[in-house]
Structure 1
Amino acid sequence: MCNQVVMEVYKKASIKAWAEADKPREKLILKGKASLSDAELLAILLGSGNREENAVDLSKRILGEYGNNLNALSKRSLKQLVAFKGIGEAKAVAIVAALELGQRRLIEPGTQQPKIESSRMVFNLMRPLIGTLGYEEFWILLLDTSNTVIHRQNLSKGGLTGTLVDVRILFKIALEHHAVAVILCHNHPSGQVIPSETDLRITKKIQQAGLLLDIVVLDHLIVTEKAYYSFADQNLM
């Protein structure tokens, strides 16, 4: 019973009172970043907690509120984050910035551009970029003769249920990059991957325009956080 009380006091104590090897910053230095839990990494960003909680406990509470899911946390607004006791605007901004950097790292192209061999590869490439958005975005992937991605670009941003696409701008960009093929991608914030009538119409329109310019529209993917729909896989191209 006594040991339990001691542990509770230790748990609530300021991180400064912890053993050196247990402090998140020192632990990272001594053991490396992989040794830290999500809560400990978040605690380093926060720097401090509140009167009732140290930074680690506060971090655990924040993560617990979103099912210990970093993707869910990354969707929270500044207003939602500052609602936590001990989180001011500066700390909220630090959290948002860190999670955004992590997201951008996932989508940043490497030195070697990927060669597209399946719809799954397109999904893996685009899911970190648009899969978790709360609104629709329409993107194109431009490919060369070997199906290697030479460029990708956002064409439009929309609302919860749709986004507009200017076919002329799409093919202007494709011609500027000397693309021989294009893959269309957009997300459904609802999580549903079934194409709408609008999705079907715009795909057909773009495909027909591509025929005139000798640019092949290989596929159109509807992307969500956990799944995707490929027009080509469904024989709709």
Structure 2
Amino acid sequence: MNKKLSIKSWAEEDRPREKMLRKGVAALSDAELLAILIGSGNATESAVELAQRILHAVDNNLNALGKLSIKELTSGFKGIGEAKAVSIIAALELGKRRNAADIPQRDSIRSSNDAFRLMHPLLCDLPHEELWVLLMNRANKVIEKIKISQGGTGETSADILLILKAAITSLASGIILFHNHPSGNLAPSAQDDQLTQRLQQSAKLMNLSLLDHIIISDNQYYSYADEGRLGL
């Protein structure tokens, strides 16, 4: 019967913690970084082997790993208890927040990609749809981001009056509308088109501009402005 070789018995240059201290964090693979988080494996796997199996289960996609729940991690992988699952999810959430923290340093939103990067951490991993607005001043600087509504897996409701009230209260001059598609399909629905048209027409009456409507899914997005579809 083969006995598991623990990480402590590995050559020092192969141990994740020692490797990081000697070569820097960039030298570590995703599995090695994950192994440092979970600390130990199980009766038949080292921490690195367990981390490799977890990553293999999500096709080595960290975004997919970030969508797993505590229950999915603890029930799907022997050696992952609640504390380790919490550590994994917390670390991935910190990574998302770090990405989001880069945006406020910019003076303004200059493109759909700037807007996408700001809102992506809030919407990318949700199993349900949410509708948000980004309120802008005349220099295209962000005043505020506000969640308008939350729905099911296929749709969310949109209250035009709530959007306009938020914009007027914040003294905004421009609005960028956001929602996510948990299905992964970026194609706008007929309801998305109708919402875009209704909000654009209503905003115009209040001397406000709908600058874009962006649909987010994973690491991709669809921009009505980029596609030249704000004149629906």
Q: Same fold (TM over 0.5)?
A: yes
CA RMSD, 1 decimal: 2.1
Query: C-alpha offsets along residues 85-114 of structure 1, whole Å, 9 cap, x if unaligned?
Result: 111111111111111111122223545235
Stretches of structure 2 that go unaligned for 5 or more consecutive residues are none
Find 2:115's aligned residue among 107, 115, 122: 122
Distance in 2 of aligned mates of 1:172 and 1:58: 51
2:174 is the counterpart of 1:181: yes
CA contact (8 A) 2:130 2:179 kept: yes
Equivalent positions of 1:20-99 (< 5 A) are 20-82=12-74, 83-99=76-92
* Structure-1-length-normalised TM-score: 0.87
CA contact (8 A) 2:103 2:117 kept: no
Range that drifts further, 168-177 or 57-66 = 168-177
Distance in 1 of aligned mates of 2:198 and 2:102: 29
CA contact (8 A) 1:113 1:149 kept: no
Letter aligned with residue 215 of structure 1: L
Q: Which has the larger radius of gyration?
A: 1
Letter aligned with residue 235 of structure 1: R
Letter aligned with residue 216 of structure 1: S
Letter aligned with residue 132 of structure 2: W
Q: Sequence identity of aligned pairs in percent?
A: 50
Query: C-alpha offsets along residues 63-89 of structure 1, whole Å, 9 cap, x if unaligned?
Result: 111111111111111121112111111
Find 1:203's aligned residue among 189, 193, 196: 196
CA contact (8 A) 1:78 1:93 kept: yes
Distance in 2 of aligned mates of 1:111 and 1:135: 26
What is the number of residues matched between the two proteins? 228
Stretches of structure 1 that go unaligned for 5 or more consecutive residues are 1-7
Equivalent positions of 1:129-208 (< 5 A) are 129-208=122-201
Deviation at 1:226, TM superposition (A): 4.4
| Structure 1 pair 109–139 and aligned structure 2 pair: CA distance change class (3 A) | farther
CA contact (8 A) 1:113 1:150 kept: no
Distance in 1 of aligned mates of 2:40 and 2:85: 13
